[in-house]
A = this chain, B = another copy of it.
């Protein structure tokens, strides 16, 4: 997979993306027989975390600096349900900058038939913990602006 973070050219860089894999476990499901609506947000957090790592924000670093990307809004559409044992691909990408905030977009697709199960957008802000003070987005991200 080509790394979209380190482009060769001089123009604006392609927006970074990620793809992660999940296998649906018992703890992801509920007694309706399908994946519980909250479990998909764990899958999305894993993808978002790996996307952040691509942007230079690794968990280990955050842990030391206390500088975290914090979710300020989630919009999620549940289109089709996943089931126990399904293999899923979670695709995430940086989508948009909006002042000191940015949006990421996600979709979850079932590997067996390529059906799109979930679409989701999350707005995030960089926050300095424990004070909870919002901070500017990293200067290096300017290259991603469209």
Contacts and interface: CB of A to CB of B under 8 A. Distances in A.
A84 B31 CA distance: 8
A115 interface: no
Contacts of A74: 37, 74-76
B37 A25 contact: no
Interface in A11-53: 23-27, 29-34, 36-38, 41-42, 45-46, 49
26 contacts: A23-B46, A23-B49, A24-B59, A25-B49, A25-B59, A26-B32, A26-B45, A26-B49, A27-B36, A29-B31, A31-B83, A32-B129, A37-B41, A37-B71, A37-B74, A38-B38, A38-B45, A41-B41, A60-B85, A63-B83, A72-B77, A72-B78, A73-B75, A74-B74, A74-B75, A81-B132
A68 interface: yes
A131 to B, nearest CB: 10
A70 interface: yes
A142 interface: no
Question: How often does this chain occur in the complex, in copies?
Answer: 4
B36 A33 contact: no
Contacts of A29: 30-31
A130 interface: yes
B27 A30 contact: yes
A62 interface: yes
Contacts of A68: 32
B78 A59 contact: no
